[in-house]
Amino acid sequence: MVPETHWPYTPSATRYEGVAYRPCGKSGIRLPTISLGLWQNFGGVDSLENARQMLRQAFDLGINHFDLANNYGPPYGSAESTFGQLFQQDLKPFRDELFISSKAGYDMWPGPYGDGGSRKYLIASIDQSLKRTGLEYFDLFYSHRFDPETPLEETMGALDFIVRSGRALYVGISSYSPEQTREAASILRDRGTPCLIHQPRYSLFDRRPEEGLLDTLEAEGIGSIVFSPLAQGLLTNKYLQGVPEGSRAARPEQVHLRPKDVTESRVRQIQRLNALAEQRGQSLAQMALAWVLRRPCVTSALIGASRPEQIAECVRSLDSSPFTESELRSIDEILSSE
């Protein structure tokens, strides 16, 4: 039961002065330059009150885009349930100010219809996600990954149906290669449901989207929202001396960031990047976000957080000055060093 003192939530009157909003490709939608993802720290095992404070902090700062997926938790589905509960209690009056996404594509339930890109899976999954969140529709629904075992026509046909049936307003794709993206975009265009956005992983420590994907998105008029722009927290000041207690890498249940990923050479790079950020008068997290957002085709940086203050710090990255050529060269040199 939520303490009564937490109601009613009145968002900050100045919330639209916090972040900037960029056009999402060639669409009418603008997204905040910083968005909040609920992959971690919003599960059934996490504190509901902390989750509430993070959502409130985000919305108070103008972050009106929240990103979910069917299997965020743990357990699977519980981040959507948490969001649904907090939406009902805090955010429901502001539904039309919010842009809420979910996805299906990875492992969700047992058997042949709970994973991949089939029409059966995607439609059943969004119906479950709508129930868990209590939303009438999602603003955006993604194919979470390219499934080599399902014809792309079928996956894109399911996305088109999801829009036409009123379950979502827009559709997107995540982690598709440039070629898969072009093909998906063409199928969706032919069906009259354009691909709004692509969600790739992009950060100082993962520059693969620079190898053709960002150019493809620009050419196709598709927006991009880049996930893990802080490399799951590595690009912050918390790993300067290795793995600290309580950090994501230190949590035993983590499979996506482990202490062995925090190598000595990684820590040296983090320390050098941190020194450069200090010279620029900002934190490493702020510099890492400013760096992904330096490309105009990046619509939004999709961060995660474990505490409300982290969100506030990330939003302050937007005050930063543009990178000089010499700073960009120093960054390239640090990233290529061992």
Binding site for ligand NDP (CB under 6 A): 37-40, 67, 144, 174-175, 199, 227-233, 236, 238, 247-248, 285, 302-306, 310, 313-314
Kindly tell me which of 165 and 284 has the beta carbon lying closer to ligand NDP. Answer: 284
Task: Please report, for residues 273, 288, 296, 314, the alpha-carbon distance to residue 328 in angstroms, rounded to integers and kept in the order given.
Answer: 11, 12, 16, 20
Total residues found in the chain within this entry = 338
Output the smallest distance, CB 262 to ligand NDP, in A.
11
In terms of Cβ atoms closer than 10 Å to its own Cβ (0-12, 13-18, 19+), residue 161 is: middle
Q: CB 174 → ligand NDP: shortest distance, Å?
A: 4
Provide the minimum distance between the beta carbon of 37 and ligand NDP in the complex, in angstroms, as a whole number.
2
Is the CB of 164 or the CB of 207 nearer to ligand NDP? 207
Rounded CA separation 87/81 (Å)? 10
State the nearest-atom distance from the C-beta of 1 to ligand NDP, in Å: 27
Residue 245 or 325 having the CB closest to ligand NDP: 245
Work out how close the CB of 10 gets to ligand NDP at its nearest, in angstroms, rounded to a whole number: 25
Nearest distance from C-beta of residue 199 to ligand NDP, angstroms: 5
Residue nearer to ligand NDP on the CB measure, 190 or 210: 210
Q: Is the Cβ of residue 133 or residue 199 nearer to ligand NDP in the bound state?
A: 199
- Give the nearer residue to ligand NDP in terms of CB position, either 63 or 166: 63
Q: At its nearest, how many Å lie between ligand NDP and the CB of residue 203?
A: 7
- SS3 annotation, 265-311: HHHHHHHHHHHHHHHCCCCHHHHHHHHHCCCCCCCEEEECCCCHHHH
- CB of residue 5 to ligand NDP, shortest distance in Å: 27
Question: What crossing angle do the helices spanning 119-133 and 78-86 adopt, rounded to 10°?
Answer: 40
- Residue 84 or 233: the one with the smaller Cβ distance to ligand NDP is 233
What tokens were used for 130? 């709508």
DSSP assignment string, 160-176: HHHHHTTSEEEEEEES-
Pairing of strands 65-67, 195-199: unpaired
What distance in Å separates the CA atoms of residue 183 and residue 186, rounded to the nearest whole number?
5
Closest CA to 239 of 284, 289, 279: 284
95: number of Cβ within 10 Å: 13
Nearer to ligand NDP, 150 or 274 (CB): 274
316: Cα within 13 Å, side-chain hemisphere: 11
